[in-house]
Structure 1
Amino acid sequence: MKTLKYLHLAWSKTGSMNHARRDHAAFTLKNGKVLVCGGFDNGAMASAELYDPSTENWTTIDSMNNARGEHTVSLLNNGKLLITGGLSSREFLNSTELYDPSNETWTITGSMNDPRGEHMASVLTNGKVLVSGGYGNGHWLNSAELYDPSTEIWTTTGSMNSARSQHTSSVLPNGRVLVTGGHISRDALNSAELYDPSTETWTTIDSMNGTRSEHTASVLMNGNVLVTGGFDNNARGSAELYNPLTGLWTITGSMNHKRWKHTATVLANGKVLVIGGFEHNALTSAELYDPLTETWTIIDDMNVARGEHTTSVLANGKMLVTGGSPGGTSLKGAELYLSLQTN
């Protein structure tokens, strides 16, 4: 069920990045600044920069040791950020590195057992990082591995039941990890499985109602997981919910706009903000999902159409949207939004 209600939001342009980029990674640091690293712009990039919300300016910092896009970034319990894999200009990578916000430096850490890009990474409740799937060495991967920050060593763990890339990976309240969808070659998947850190095994669960790749999955405050959009020969507008208590998938309200390669963020009020992505072309549209009513509300459009971008929640409550692609090129522009409605 859709809604035609509009919610007024204040979008504003902010300082542009020093480098245009898409398929990059971004993370809000504990000091409030936002780190952006890597991505693509006429090839893979190693450059990194910091956004300061107090000045709305970007500062170039030391580059990563390896140029990469379609990589992952994870916050470790020791405050460092772990960057894994991705695609360089010539090959998929097994290299990983650490960013230390205290001195703004990059150091190489243990390499993964398999080179991979288009994979997913999740920080487990025990502090280790689970990396799953992706593409590397000429094939789609079902392998998974664990990074131990105390030893900086990767160890192979149980493999998924299905190879997949551009899937989602979500840590549930019970500590297990839900993996959904993705694709093998041109075939989008509806399969889903659970990883149990205590046994290091995967269990196939009920499939989603729709096949989808390059979609989003968001863990809601009630513990359910909202899956939105994605691609299966065409952009999808459907959404569905996974209930960890029952193990069942149920269809929920569809988005007002079909989209893939978008972003979805759970806000402090429990609603989910979906921004941009592609349908036939890049989108400026944004909308909010309300878990209480299972409906979507259209909000004001961004200033620039984009997919393959990032979104980061700032300490001041604003949302920072960076880079991405309008289709075929990379963007350096960034923008902010702040809801004028708090409930």
Structure 2
Amino acid sequence: MAPRTAHWLVLACTSLTILGCPSDDGSDGEAYVYEDALDSLDPLVEPRFQHTATALPDGRVLVVGGTLATPSSMQLDSYVAEVAVWEGDAFVRGASLAEPRAGHTATALSDGRVVIVGGTTHVGAPSPAFGVEVWDPASESLSAPGSLDFNLVGHCAVATPEDRVLIIDDCESSGCTVASIDPDTGSYESLGGAPSHRYALDLDCAALPDGRVVLGGALDEATDEAAPALDIYDPSSQSFTSVDLPAAFGREATVAALASGDVLVIGDAAGVEPGGVGTLGVVYTASGEVRALTGEAGAINRAEHLVTPLSDGRALVSGGLVALSPELDDAPGVDLVDPAAGTVTPVPGSEVSFGTRDGHAGALYADGPALLIGGRVGMDRVATVHVFR
């Protein structure tokens, strides 16, 4: 794929702008009030699968990488060597990546830069992507300050209070790959620590306000079954602490930091059969409490799903598969998590308007409406964009 020259579209902010007009700091000065409605928007420039979407401080949304091709074309996936930016009512092409990649992480720092690490690339044949790339919203350009000497596929990444990127990968009870990446140099410092449980190859985690990191989807070392626990990593002591949960969430559980500072663990809930209701997730609060989330009628116990936190402390859970279903059925629609009420409820009409998909990405625009972007429907990559507002 030939690299493209970066170019940008400057949009006037008027009363006709679909999603509202952020101020210079990315907010409109007032708390966004959701209508709890899901709509379709104009599509991406091209389909993407296993890409990332990252909210920027100026209110825009950065989409990085992914794959394009459909397996039905009998061709290998074409990896996207570029970024795209949502400017308020459309995506525009941005800078070119040094190496195309998918399955990576793109972590926002407090100064607005986004650090891109890991995943796989496709130059001749699929292989790990070792380079560290940084997107700078001030210059609207990408830089490649350095490379790692180990591969990251299925890792998780969070920003630290010091504006570094903490990555965790390959977690067994004997230890994890833990490193702190310097975005200025691309170099890293290896850290230590061994959790009380093992974790799946596709690891998920989220940071608490004090810098500790919550890992979800704990597995029992002896049985490989879901364990009713989570592990919390403390970078300052390079150690893990185990926390008991009222229910077990398996290898396909998803972890996300909520606007409140609490952390959501949801999905692949053990014992919740397809079509059944029960404890679909938990919230681990910044003060150390554990609160169960009960699925109401129509909510789905999902696997391989996406969680998109909202600015009011709630979160969307979309797409993926029906956990524990014999045929791994696609999970339609979008569910809404309300930690204050302790509930998970379906978004009305989303089974039809959103349908089924996986490998999509989500982020907030201007600290308000949530964009659900791209993904795969069946075996086909799609360019669709939905907005929850």
In the aligned structure 2, how far is the partner of 1:315 from the partner of 1:68? 26
**C-alpha deviations, 1:186-228, integer Å up to 9, x for none?**
9565353222122223334436731422322234466543211
Is the contact between residue 74 and residue 81 of structure 1 (CA under 8 Å) also seen in structure 2?
Answer: yes
Is the contact between residue 24 and residue 37 of structure 1 (CA under 8 Å) also seen in structure 2?
Answer: yes
Alignment partner, residue 204 of structure 2: 168
**C-alpha deviations, 1:13-63, integer Å up to 9, x for none?**
21211221111011122332221111123323223212221xx22212222
Aligned residue for 2:303, secondary structure, equals coil
**C-alpha deviations, 1:215-254, integer Å up to 9, x for none?**
22234466543211138899897212335545x6554313
Sequence identity (%): 24
Cα 1:113/1:68, change in 2 over 3 Å: same
Is the contact between residue 284 and residue 303 of structure 1 (CA under 8 Å) also seen in structure 2?
Answer: yes
1:49 maps onto 2:84 in alignment: yes
Alignment partner, residue 18 of structure 2: none
Alignment partner, residue 143 of structure 1: 177
Aligned residue for 1:50, secondary structure, equals strand
> What is the identity, as a one-letter code, of the residue corresponding to 2:344?
W
Is the contact between residue 22 and residue 331 of structure 1 (CA under 8 Å) also seen in structure 2?
Answer: yes
Among 273, 279, 298, the residue aligned to 2:346: 298
In the aligned structure 2, how far is the partner of 1:213 from the partner of 1:41? 27
Alignment partner, residue 293 of structure 2: 252
| Alpha-carbon distance, 1:69 to partner | 0.8
> What is the identity, as a one-letter code, of the residue corresponding to 2:232?
L
| Alpha-carbon distance, 1:259 to partner | 1.3
Aligned residue for 2:128, secondary structure, equals coil
| Alpha-carbon distance, 1:269 to partner | 2.5
Is the contact between residue 321 and residue 334 of structure 1 (CA under 8 Å) also seen in structure 2?
Answer: yes
1:270 maps onto 2:301 in alignment: no
Larger radius of gyration: 2
Alignment partner, residue 63 of structure 1: 96
Cα 1:160/1:11, change in 2 over 3 Å: same
**C-alpha deviations, 1:256-309, integer Å up to 9, x for none?**
112122222332322222222222443441222222221223223034422211
Cα 1:78/1:8, change in 2 over 3 Å: closer
Q: TM-score, normalised on structure 1?
A: 0.83
Is the contact between residue 72 and residue 85 of structure 1 (CA under 8 Å) also seen in structure 2?
Answer: yes
Is the contact between residue 283 and residue 307 of structure 1 (CA under 8 Å) also seen in structure 2?
Answer: no
Instruction: After superposing the two structures, state which structure 1 stretch, 63-72 or 283-292, moved more.
Output: 283-292
In the aligned structure 2, how far is the partner of 1:33 from the partner of 1:271? 20
Is the contact between residue 259 and residue 310 of structure 2 (CA under 8 Å) also seen in structure 1?
Answer: no
Instruction: After superposing the two structures, state which structure 1 stretch, 92-101 or 41-50, moved more.
Output: 41-50
In the aligned structure 2, how far is the partner of 1:303 from the partner of 1:195? 36
Alignment partner, residue 322 of structure 1: 373
Aligned residue for 1:145, secondary structure, equals strand
Instruction: After superposing the two structures, state which structure 1 stretch, 162-171 or 205-214, moved more.
Output: 205-214
Cα 1:221/1:18, change in 2 over 3 Å: closer
1:197 maps onto 2:202 in alignment: no
Cα 1:79/1:155, change in 2 over 3 Å: same
Stretches of structure 1 that go unaligned for 5 or more consecutive residues are: 1-6, 339-343
> What is the identity, as a one-letter code, of the residue corresponding to 2:187?
I
Stretches of structure 2 that go unaligned for 5 or more consecutive residues are: 1-33, 70-76, 323-327
In the aligned structure 2, how far is the partner of 1:244 from the partner of 1:45? 37
Query: Alignment length, in residue pairs?
Result: 325
**C-alpha deviations, 1:59-99, integer Å up to 9, x for none?**
12222111111100111233211000101231222221111
In the aligned structure 1, how far is the partner of 2:175 from the partner of 2:82? 28
Cα 1:150/1:262, change in 2 over 3 Å: same
Alignment partner, residue 242 of structure 1: 284
Q: TM-score, normalised on structure 2?
A: 0.74
1:212 maps onto 2:212 in alignment: no
Alignment partner, residue 23 of structure 1: 50
> What is the identity, as a one-letter code, of the residue corresponding to 2:295?
S
| Alpha-carbon distance, 1:148 to partner | 2.0
In the aligned structure 2, how far is the partner of 1:245 from the partner of 1:62? 41
Aligned residue for 2:302, secondary structure, equals coil
Cα 1:316/1:164, change in 2 over 3 Å: closer
Cα 1:146/1:296, change in 2 over 3 Å: same
In the aligned structure 1, how far is the partner of 2:138 from the partner of 2:121? 27
Cα 1:221/1:66, change in 2 over 3 Å: closer
Alignment partner, residue 123 of structure 1: 159
1:82 maps onto 2:125 in alignment: no
Among 263, 268, 278, the residue aligned to 1:230: 268
Cα 1:298/1:203, change in 2 over 3 Å: closer
In the aligned structure 2, how far is the partner of 1:102 from the partner of 1:80? 8
Alignment partner, residue 3 of structure 1: none
